[in-house]
Chain A
Amino acid sequence: MADHKERDWSGALGSAAPQPAPAAAGPAKIELYEKGKTVHNKRIDGPFRRFKWLVMVVTLAVYYITPWIRWDRGPYAPDQAVLVDLAHRRFYMFDIEIWPHEFYFVAGLLIMAGIGLFLVTSAVGRAWCGYACPQTVWTDLFQHIDRFFDGDRNARARLDKAPWTAGKITRRTSKWAVYLVISFWTGGAWIMYFADAPTLTYDFWRGEAAMVAYATVAILTGTTFWLGGFMREQVCIYMCPWPRIQTAMLDEKSLIVTYKDWRGEQRGSLKKAAKNPDAYGDCVDCLQCVAVCPTGIDIREGQQIGCITCGLCIDACDKVMKDIGRPRGLIDYATLEQCEAEAAGAPATPAWKALLRPRVFIYFGVWGAIGAAMLFALGARTHTDLTVSPDRNPPFMLMKDGSVRNAYTLRLRNMEARPRDMEVALTGLPQGAVMWTEAVSMDNAAPVQVIAVPANETKVVRAYVMLPPGAAADSFSFRLTSLDEQREQDLAETRFAMPGNE
């Protein structure tokens, strides 16, 4: 067995690694550009493949079905469970409704998503890449379509090289047509999150939807068709920043899919091993791990950026090991540290033990704290709000009888999906102070006014406050009270300008 200290990971650097130029003179040339090779991954069955199926069904179902879930919010709000209503600047998610001024909730969700990725990476490595990333899910879907139309790995490779006969043209057109339908459906589902789904679907097919809807569908159809149908693993290897970030986050304690070289090497067929049992390891060099890989890499070269840790090579290798009667796990989820220990002779550690590391708990703590803080903020927020801006020009107005009048712009926010009456009262002004609004004439001026605020809206009211002659004040507050069973309150302090204090 090879000494583990001298393991060579140079294969992980890919084919761009410097190679010694041939000694012979002449234009020996290193290709800086490598043409993409289509990956024809072989069908495989096993626990990880089944888990991948499950994740695929769940994620696609969530994506396609969510906009169609209805959620009753009464007559004044849309009844779509998840809706990003850009036109009306509202974000609905089941019982939660976010207004633009509460965008920090969305920012918090994004931060949670980011830390969630760190958390998953520190716990189970690149599980996001392997199972849940949309690029992975759609690539997987398109690869199954390839298999459905063109057969498994070898048949597909043969067909690629075959001349363009009528049969090949038929297969290719029908396959691409299915690609296109799925891509269109993907783009079509996306816009459903931004408008009432049934209405939008109806308008869309009648040609009455907004231009932006058609443009969005066209763009997303194009990107899905191109990225899912043709770019596939090249997105992961060349385009996506996330694998690069993850290479910085993975260390010897991270769970990765790894080939246990101390057990596998020296590779040799069963025949060779039978002749010379001591010279060969468990790997029979059957290349099944390469054949099933959706990104077309050889895991035996070690950890590399192309490995999305989907575990399909584990399924493949376990199956071969079972057939030839050797123990499973030649390729397996393990940390580099566990590998070192195993190579040194320690008993194999269960992979789940890799989860128990401080980093996982710290990330989980931060992630959970942000989530809890947001839940608390959501629960504690009030649905009633008042802001006041005093008129600055003129700051005050002297009336005929010597009273002093100030004008204010009040913004009464009703975040409930029903119209509510709200009471605006003056507090902190001397006796005799009254207010009225554009809708309530000066004859009906009183210290308290009741204003009807429409459902889900901010009502802007111009209000006048008047102090009788002789009274003086320089600041006071408007107190807003919702006249319903909740009696939510908000206090807005403002100034009162008079001759002498302006």
Chain B
Amino acid sequence: MSNKRIDQPTGTETVGHEWDGIEELNTPLPRWWLWTFYACIAFSVVYVVLYPAWPMIDKATAGTLGWSSRGDLAKEMSAADAARQGMIAQIAATDIEALPASPELMAQAIAGGAAAFKVNCVQCHGAGAAGYQEYGYPNLNDNDWIWGGTLTDIETTLTHGIRWEGSDATRVNYMPAFEGMFDAGQVAALTSHVLSLSGKATPNAAGATLFSENCAACHGPAGAGMPEMGAPALNDAIWLYGGSEAAVRKQILAPRHGVMPGWKDRLDPVTIKMLAAYVHSRGGGQQAAPAAEPATDVAQAPKAETDG
């Protein structure tokens, strides 16, 4: 570096490089900058000792403080859980039919249920709880309830499931398959009669006779259904497996039976209660008042015990 020299106008040494007559001055870094830089180095040394820093084969060095972002999250989650405990205990202590009387508690229960619904229920019933007709997953927003739509009914369904082998108290029923029992004309007449109950076809006498002999025992003479044994109403606009003639005929000949798991072993009773509140709040929930429609009268019986 023989080219180093003192630059006349500034009195600063050059670094010795020269490009087409342009030279670079060896200007020192400002002192404040240097000290900031040294402070950063000192800080990084302390940081490396205290916190996770060096990446190793499987994970980074742990640091002496034992801090981790996972640990932070766990702490925040347990703090949030602890903050919820009061509300959870209150819901646990409140009878489910008494929940709507306290709007604040009901709102909390609905919010908790909405969260649990997103984790446990959307897989079959959909994010909007509207179900999937092609698979027979029922819509939970409407006011048609195969097994009853009061808070208690919904809670029972959630706890024990439907045709679920894991619980003795599960809701179970089977509709016999009529494949081979009727000839084609009888099937057509019966299908037409079933559709006529909701005004979708014209009534016919042959179908009516077949219906009263084979179907009315469960579905009722007018097809109003029987929620206490899970016989769906046939005189309304809602069809679990579809309301076309083909779908109804298929269901008469080879009925499908959906299965819903009970949640008593997977969710705690408070979560189930909150889920029931959420499903009930979707717009079709039924009141448990005695003055409800006749079809739900019998559904009061088991609830009377829990109320008492």
The chain A residues found within 8 Å of chain B, CB to CB, are 21, 27-30, 32, 391-394, 397-402, 405, 407, 438-439, 441-443, 464, 469
Contact present for A397 and B139 (CB under 8 Å): yes
Q: How far, in angstroms, from A393 to B103 measured CA to CA in the complex?
A: 25
Contact present for A393 and B130 (CB under 8 Å): yes
- Contact partner of A402 (CB less than 8 A), chosen from B103, B127, B141, B237, is B237
Q: How far, in angstroms, from A419 to B142 measured CA to CA in the complex?
A: 34
Give 14 new A-B contacts, CB below 8 A, not counting A392-B128, A393-B127, A439-B103: A28-B11, A394-B129, A399-B143, A399-B144, A399-B237, A399-B238, A400-B238, A401-B237, A402-B198, A407-B141, A407-B283, A442-B283, A443-B287, A469-B237
CB distance from B13 to the nearest CB of A (A): 10
Is B233 in contact with chain A by the CB < 8 A criterion?
yes
Is B269 in contact with chain A by the CB < 8 A criterion?
no
Q: Which residues of B in the span 127-147 have a Cβ within 8 Å of any Cβ on A? A: 127-130, 139, 141-144
Q: How far, in angstroms, from A265 to B77 measured CA to CA in the complex?
A: 79
Contact present for B141 and A394 (CB under 8 Å): yes
Contact present for B236 and A401 (CB under 8 Å): yes
Residues of B within 8 A of A392 (CB): 128
6 tightest A-B contacts by CB?
A393-B128, A29-B11, A394-B130, A402-B237, A400-B236, A27-B11
- Contact partner of A400 (CB less than 8 A), chosen from B129, B130, B144, B287, is B144
- Contact partner of A398 (CB less than 8 A), chosen from B11, B128, B237, is B237
Q: Which residues of B in the span 252-294 have a Cβ within 8 Å of any Cβ on A? A: 281, 283-284, 287
Which of A32, A394, A405, A438 has most B Cβ within 10 Å? Answer: A394
Question: Chain B, interface size: which category?
Answer: 20 to 34
CB distance from B195 to the nearest CB of A (A): 13
Is B10 in contact with chain A by the CB < 8 A criterion?
yes
Contact present for B8 and A28 (CB under 8 Å): yes
Is B126 in contact with chain A by the CB < 8 A criterion?
yes
Is B6 in contact with chain A by the CB < 8 A criterion?
yes
- Contact partner of A397 (CB less than 8 A), chosen from B11, B127, B142, B233, is B142
Q: How far, in angstroms, from A393 to B132 measured CA to CA in the complex?
A: 12
Is B9 in contact with chain A by the CB < 8 A criterion?
yes
Give B1-34 as 1s and 0s: 1 = Cβ < 8 Å from A's Cβ atoms: 0000010111100000000000000000000000
Interface secondary structure of B, over-half rule: loop
Contact present for A29 and B10 (CB under 8 Å): yes
Contacts A397-B141, A401-B237, A441-B287: A21 and B9 contacting too (C-beta < 8 A)?
yes
Q: How far, in angstroms, from A405 to B141 measured CA to CA in the complex?
A: 10
Residues of B within 8 A of A28 (CB): 8-9, 11
Q: How far, in angstroms, from A357 to B80 measured CA to CA in the complex?
A: 65
Give A403's nearest chain B residue, CB to CB.
B237
Contact present for B128 and A391 (CB under 8 Å): yes
Which of A21, A400, A438, A464 has most B Cβ within 10 Å? Answer: A400
Q: How far, in angstroms, from A439 to B11 measured CA to CA in the complex?
A: 84
Contact present for A27 and B141 (CB under 8 Å): no
Q: How far, in angstroms, from A28 to B11 measured CA to CA in the complex?
A: 6
Contact present for A399 and B6 (CB under 8 Å): no
Residues of A within 8 A of B11 (CB): 27-30
Give B130's nearest chain A residue, CB to CB.
A394
Residues of A within 8 A of B238 (CB): 398-400
Q: How far, in angstroms, from A127 to B164 measured CA to CA in the complex?
A: 84
- Contact partner of A30 (CB less than 8 A), chosen from B9, B103, B141, B287, is B9
Contact present for A394 and B128 (CB under 8 Å): yes
Q: How far, in angstroms, from A400 to B6 measured CA to CA in the complex?
A: 97
Q: How far, in angstroms, from A30 to B7 measured CA to CA in the complex?
A: 11
Residues of B within 8 A of A464 (CB): 283
Give A402's nearest chain B residue, CB to CB.
B237
Contact present for A399 and B130 (CB under 8 Å): no
Residues of A within 8 A of B236 (CB): 400-402
Give B98-139 as 1s and 0s: 1 = Cβ < 8 Å from A's Cβ atoms: 000001000000000000000000000011111000000001
Q: How far, in angstroms, from A407 to B141 measured CA to CA in the complex?
A: 10
Give A406's nearest chain B residue, CB to CB.
B283
Q: Which residues of B in the span 46-104 have a Cβ within 8 Å of any Cβ on A? A: 103
Q: How far, in angstroms, from A407 to B281 measured CA to CA in the complex?
A: 12
CB distance from A404 to the nearest CB of B (A): 9
Give A438's nearest chain B residue, CB to CB.
B281
Residues of A within 8 A of B139 (CB): 394, 397
Contact present for B142 and A398 (CB under 8 Å): yes
- Contact partner of B283 (CB less than 8 A), chosen from A29, A393, A397, A401, is A397
Contact present for B142 and A399 (CB under 8 Å): yes
Contact present for B103 and A21 (CB under 8 Å): no
Residues of B within 8 A of A469 (CB): 237
Residues of B within 8 A of A391 (CB): 128
Q: Which residues of B in the span 142-170 have a Cβ within 8 Å of any Cβ on A? A: 142-144
CB distance from A456 to the nearest CB of B (A): 20
Give B128's nearest chain A residue, CB to CB.
A393
Contact present for B233 and A400 (CB under 8 Å): yes
24 contacts between A and B (CB under 8 A): A28-B8, A28-B9, A30-B10, A391-B128, A393-B128, A393-B130, A394-B126, A394-B129, A394-B130, A397-B139, A397-B142, A399-B143, A399-B144, A399-B237, A399-B238, A399-B284, A400-B144, A401-B237, A402-B236, A405-B283, A407-B141, A407-B283, A439-B103, A464-B283
Give B236's nearest chain A residue, CB to CB.
A400
Q: How far, in angstroms, from A464 to B127 measured CA to CA in the complex?
A: 19
CB distance from B256 to the nearest CB of A (A): 20
